[in-house]
Structure 1
Amino acid sequence: MSSYSLKNVYATLPRTQRGQPLVLGGDPKGKNFLYTNGNSVIIRNIENPAISEIYTEHSLPVNVAKYSPSGFYIASGDQSGKVRIWDTVNKEHILKNEFHPIGGPIKDIAWSPDNQRMVVVGEGRERFGHVFMSETGTSVGEISGQSKPINSCDFRPTRPFRIVTGSEDNTIGVFEGPPFKFKMTKQDHSRFVQAVRYSPSGNLFASAGFDGKVFIYDGTSSDLVGEVGSPAHNGGVYGVSWSPDGRQLLTSSGDKTARLWDVETRQMVSEFVLGATVEDQQVSCLWQGQYLLSVSLSGFINYLDVNDSSKPLRIVKGHNKPITVLSLTEDRTNIFTGSHDGFVTNWNASTGENNRVNGLGHGNQINGMKPNGNLMYTCGIDDSVKQIDIENNTYTKTDIKLGSQPRGMDILKEKNIIIAASVNEISVIQDDKKVGELKVNYEPSSASVSKVGDIAVGGSMDNKVHIYELNGTSLNQKIELDHLGAVTDVSFSPDDKYLVACDAHRKVILYSVPEYKLATNQEWGFHNARVNTIAWSPNSLLVASGSLDTNIIIWSVVKPNKHVIIKNAHAQSQITRLSWLDDSTLVSVGQDCNTKMWIIEPF
């Protein structure tokens, strides 16, 4: 059995939610930072964020992940109140422990400086937090004294140990121990407390709230030292992070700015204005060695420049919603991905560097994407076909209206004709104008065009592949091919010798062209759920299929009884699209918002 290897992961951005702070974790060695999206924990190299790793062992959405002070472990907490502690050294990330300290979503986690104790807080049914031993799960104190869910917690990094918590009852809780007991609440905030963090030496801690205020307290006595700014921001403060020397403080706010403060004078040193739209609200920040990060509501990760606050050093972009379309430029140097929320990202296939496509796109889900020379065409559920100017990375003004929602499209480049298959018709578009249409009484799911002008359209209601002939700008029905389930995708091979179709009955079926007869007596039926998508290698020898069962299977035309299965290719998430970069490199995208590159060994 031949094998495969994962070459690259172009990672999802953090999943953000309006009004919810996002917690970033940092590696004590200063190399990586951490965040979550869906069931995944994403570990990214801070120097080169194109290098990333994804931990996918949670069965429910994860809210927060934090490195242990030793750097050898990561603790991640999920929606149900479960904490997994896993190692960072092995590629397999071996699970060390799993505990269930509270009965509801975990919102923050903090380790004691000796790696032995841990505090978790959130929205439990019977309690909002718990302190326990990281080795055994034994309780070492109670988090009590606050009447509403707790958003944030921190462990004092030096003795005498303290724990502070920030709650939706507008208070800060202070706990002394071990064993940790409630000592007092601080009531300086007038709205939800969103973040509490100790300084690196433990001599101070800072709190940030939705009242726009940031306070600094004494780390031992918890007495109020003073307020930062007056107030610190014109909107809710979502995050606060200390500089490594403890002399400065970074804050991020819903007022779309991040600000840098001098701790001693509590005055502003600089302000980073990160945009003017709702999507530019700043929901998290992290000061990691020489790097200052702030995360926008859009999910973009901004690297702030201490020497020039006018613009970030770099902005890491991408997707944080499921990816629905994938295509390559004709020279295969760039990968285009489009997500459920209508955004398109253009990735450099060799470095992973990316940029979001500018201009007015569809504004909602994109269902098809295909290149034509220096243009990339997209169709979306706003019932239109639009085009992207690849070189300038922007949507053009071209907007071709369709009669109903498009489900798939393909391009006959020789004649500059686009075929768009919509809910109740197939449109023929030439030179960016609609020149013909054929009303259909089935619901198309996909379309593929062969170089000779045959057109295959998948039927999702009638379980058929419909083959048409293109005469000028009109379509004539040629033949129908029956499947046992809804046909989800169709594709002619690059050499035009085959057509492959996949369906909801778990099958991938190969036909020889032009007679449209079964090309193999070998049934390609190893998926165990609906097959969503298929893609041909450029040499027409391999077909890749991606399914709802989270697996990708590679099939050989020459050896039809051989195949390679990439199990659980996108964690607990279905595969939405596939494309080959070359004859041995496959690109996949999924519901988990990640783009992955696989090397397929010959077989």
Structure 2
Amino acid sequence: MAYSNKYIFAALPRTQRGTPLVLGGDPKGKNFLYTNGNSVIIRNIDQPEIADVYTEHSCAVNVAKYSPSGFYISSGDVSGKVRIWDTVNKEHILKNEFQPLGGPIKDIAWSADSQRMCVVGDGRERFGHVFMSETGTSVGEISGQAKPMNSVDFRPTRPFRIITASEDNTVAVFEGPPFKFKCTKQEHTRFAQAVRYSPSGSLFASAGFDGKIFLYDGTSSELKGEIGGPAHKGGVYGVAWSPDGKQLLSCSGDKTCRLWDVETSQMVSEFAMGTTVDDQQVSCLWQGPHLLTVSLSGFINYLDVNNPSKPHRILKGHNKPITKLALNEDKDKVYTASHDGFVTKWDAKTGVNDRIGGNGHGNQINGLVCDVNSVYSSGIDDTFRKAGHGDGDAAGSYENVTIALGSQPRAMDIYKEKSLIVVPTVKELLVLSGDKKVSSQAVSYEPSSVSVNQHTGDVAIGGTGDNKVHIYKWEGTSLTPGAELEHLGAITDCKYSPDGKYLVACDSNRKVILYSTEEYKLAHNKEWGFHTARVNCVGWSPDGQRVASGSLDTCIIIWNLAQPAKHLVIKNAHPQSQITSLDWLDNETIVSTGQDCNTKLWTVPTA
């Protein structure tokens, strides 16, 4: 029985205020690249739902760029390491690994023949290095600037030149090969943040935090003039040339992007991207007909030249670890909640997404559940909130319903028949109905998870301090304690089967244990213990025949009730990242989330 990865609903770029982000473009025009944590994310520019993730770096990656041939990608991380890997094979086989700098790499540029590479950043001994991509042999010296270098570009035509932008406010020019320092350009009055040659190499542009953009001759490096006066009211984070070299796109911290006519240095159009801090524009890329920019929020905007007032598409999602996952009643929409308090709604078939609007939690969400009409969430701001499902692919907004919980919620489930929501917090078990609390009960243990048996009404609460699953019965709207099921480790999750006949619980002792709900006895003698670390979450297939478990060991294991001795392991389901939540869309499709900020769909056939 084989499994396959059906889709990756990819993470957004990880952004940081005051720091430019570098997007990489595929020379063939198909894909674009960005980074998030240890991952390099490759997305199809026409169908961004199609994505691939490279996870072989051992620390955070800052930049990734395609070689001009399109066969390789080079990525640089915060330790100063560069990895060169192929784009042809699914496994992305490593070609070379070098350590050109002793600190974070901020930008990478390839020569037009894909033979040479220049990297810049904040090294201990130097701020830049140029070398052969095959051997790592140095082909010159990148020096002459006194502070870390932020950006680099290679002239695409002969005679070759390299330009670098530095935090000492200068742009440096190097001639070669072998490359030697020629001169610095000192027009900028604040950090120089981006340098880019035009496609023909006849010009290059530099942009800085002084809001200015300058144009220079590509061969002699003489100043040709300034674009705009200044180009932006805030710092300019990036520039991108049109394929014909006649226009230039700029993005700025003043929350605008602007399109410039290079010949006249006049603005063609302005894209106003919003009014909040999150609308600052930290990166841009011009690829074929697509003009992409990245907001500080991580959103990727597809600008519409014919309608500058509104992007024709915005890619949303998460760039912080995903903590919870919930499905709507029809199981065609996936809701994911993240560490920073945002909830995203995904179409399970297409990957089209939108973010729930309005006044949300603003902090980590620990509970997420759906019924026919609403999405309910609880977060570590100690509140319970409610949102509508929205129409079509558009997500709804939080309603003006906020219930103060009194202490930190740990999970949440709903008893649909009676419309009662159970919220275990660190101190008590709360029952909510409508817009208010209807009962509360103090507990002597610390809850971690909750599941309601939709057939009998039984409520299972996992405990972390006492290593027990506590079973409760209803008395009106209150819960009364019943059986206790003892484990050898803290309970991390528990779920009743769709038919209510079984309860599965997982723990920090790497075990997944199945109980019959008739008397809450072990359902079989076979121990499910093939995970190598704490099991974080469990989920039932709709037919109640299989259980999936996700773990700190990055694996998902599928267990079969009919054949307890057999199991299927999805290794490295979220590489270098623990599985935080999972569920089944149908009897052959699992959806999982991880700390890598990605949501993945898996096909696991029954036969």
Q: TM-score range by the shorter chain?
A: over 0.9
Secondary structure of 2:362's match?
Answer: coil
Aligned residue in 2 for 1:114: 113
What do the CA deviations read for 1:397-428 (whole angstroms, capped 9, x no partner)? 12222121110111100001111100010011
Is 1:527 aligned to residue 526 of structure 2?
no
- Give, in whole Å, the separation in 2 of the partners of 1:476 and 1:41: 50
What do the CA deviations read for 1:166-202 (whole angstroms, capped 9, x no partner)? 0111111111100011111111111111100000000
Q: CA deviation at 1:88?
A: 0.8
Is 1:401 aligned to residue 404 of structure 2?
yes
Is 1:243 aligned to residue 246 of structure 2?
no
Secondary structure of 2:278's match?
Answer: helix
Aligned residue in 2 for 1:90: 89
Secondary structure of 1:19's match?
Answer: coil
- Give, in whole Å, the separation in 2 of the partners of 1:554 and 1:548: 15
Q: CA deviation at 1:514?
A: 2.3
Secondary structure of 2:140's match?
Answer: strand
Please tell me whether the aligned partners of residues 257 and 272 of structure 1 are also in contact (alpha carbons under 8 angstroms).
Answer: yes
Of 516, 523, 539, 2:543 maps to 539
Please tell me whether the aligned partners of residues 587 and 606 of structure 2 are also in contact (alpha carbons under 8 angstroms).
Answer: no
Opposite residue 539 of structure 2, the aligned amino acid is A
After TM superposition, the structure 1 = structure 2 runs for residues 254-333 of structure 1, keeping only pairs within 5 Å, are: 254-333=253-332
- Give, in whole Å, the separation in 1 of the partners of 2:266 and 2:435: 57
- Give, in whole Å, the separation in 1 of the partners of 2:59 and 2:535: 24
Moved more, 537-546 or 396-405: 396-405
Aligned residue in 2 for 1:484: 488
Please tell me whether the aligned partners of residues 374 and 391 of structure 1 are also in contact (alpha carbons under 8 angstroms).
Answer: no
What do the CA deviations read for 1:422-476 (whole angstroms, capped 9, x no partner)? 0010011123321111100111001111121111101011111111111111211
Secondary structure of 2:136's match?
Answer: coil
Q: CA deviation at 1:382?
A: 1.5
Please tell me whether the aligned partners of residues 403 and 425 of structure 1 are also in contact (alpha carbons under 8 angstroms).
Answer: no
- Give, in whole Å, the separation in 1 of the partners of 2:472 and 2:24: 55
What do the CA deviations read for 1:295-330 (whole angstroms, capped 9, x no partner)? 100000111111111111111111111001100100
After TM superposition, the structure 1 = structure 2 runs for residues 476-515 of structure 1, keeping only pairs within 5 Å, are: 476-515=480-519
Unaligned runs of 5+ in 2: none
Aligned residue in 2 for 1:55: 54
Of 466, 475, 480, 1:471 maps to 475
- Give, in whole Å, the separation in 2 of the partners of 1:521 and 1:143: 67
Q: TM-score, normalised by structure 2?
A: 0.98
Secondary structure of 2:439's match?
Answer: strand
Opposite residue 463 of structure 2, the aligned amino acid is G
Please tell me whether the aligned partners of residues 507 and 531 of structure 1 are also in contact (alpha carbons under 8 angstroms).
Answer: yes
Aligned residue in 2 for 1:372: 371
Please tell me whether the aligned partners of residues 410 and 447 of structure 1 are also in contact (alpha carbons under 8 angstroms).
Answer: yes
Aligned residue in 2 for 1:434: 437
Is 1:41 aligned to residue 40 of structure 2?
yes
Aligned residue in 2 for 1:166: 165
Aligned residue in 2 for 1:422: 425
Please tell me whether the aligned partners of residues 232 and 254 of structure 2 are also in contact (alpha carbons under 8 angstroms).
Answer: yes
- Give, in whole Å, the separation in 2 of the partners of 1:265 and 1:542: 66
What do the CA deviations read for 1:499-520 (whole angstroms, capped 9, x no partner)? 1111111111111112111112
- Give, in whole Å, the separation in 2 of the partners of 1:297 and 1:8: 26
Opposite residue 93 of structure 2, the aligned amino acid is I
Please tell me whether the aligned partners of residues 153 and 197 of structure 1 are also in contact (alpha carbons under 8 angstroms).
Answer: yes
Opposite residue 511 of structure 2, the aligned amino acid is K
Aligned residue in 2 for 1:450: 453
Is 1:517 aligned to residue 516 of structure 2?
no
Is 1:183 aligned to residue 203 of structure 2?
no
What do the CA deviations read for 1:218-260 (whole angstroms, capped 9, x no partner)? 1111111111100000000000000001110000000000000
Secondary structure of 1:408's match?
Answer: coil
Is 1:568 aligned to residue 572 of structure 2?
yes
Opposite residue 48 of structure 1, the aligned amino acid is Q
Please tell me whether the aligned partners of residues 11 and 598 of structure 2 are also in contact (alpha carbons under 8 angstroms).
Answer: yes
Q: CA deviation at 1:54?
A: 1.0
Secondary structure of 2:417's match?
Answer: helix
Q: CA deviation at 1:391?
A: 2.7
Q: CA deviation at 1:360?
A: 1.2
Please tell me whether the aligned partners of residues 78 and 105 of structure 1 are also in contact (alpha carbons under 8 angstroms).
Answer: yes
Moved more, 549-558 or 153-162: 549-558
Of 573, 576, 599, 2:603 maps to 599
Please tell me whether the aligned partners of residues 153 and 196 of structure 1 are also in contact (alpha carbons under 8 angstroms).
Answer: yes
Please, what is the CA RMSD of the aligned residues? 0.9
Q: TM-score, normalised by structure 1?
A: 0.99
Unaligned runs of 5+ in 1: none
Moved more, 273-282 or 37-46: 37-46
Q: CA deviation at 1:112?
A: 0.2
Aligned residue in 2 for 1:384: 383
Opposite residue 321 of structure 1, the aligned amino acid is K
- Give, in whole Å, the separation in 1 of the partners of 2:302 and 2:251: 13
- Give, in whole Å, the separation in 2 of the partners of 1:312 and 1:26: 20
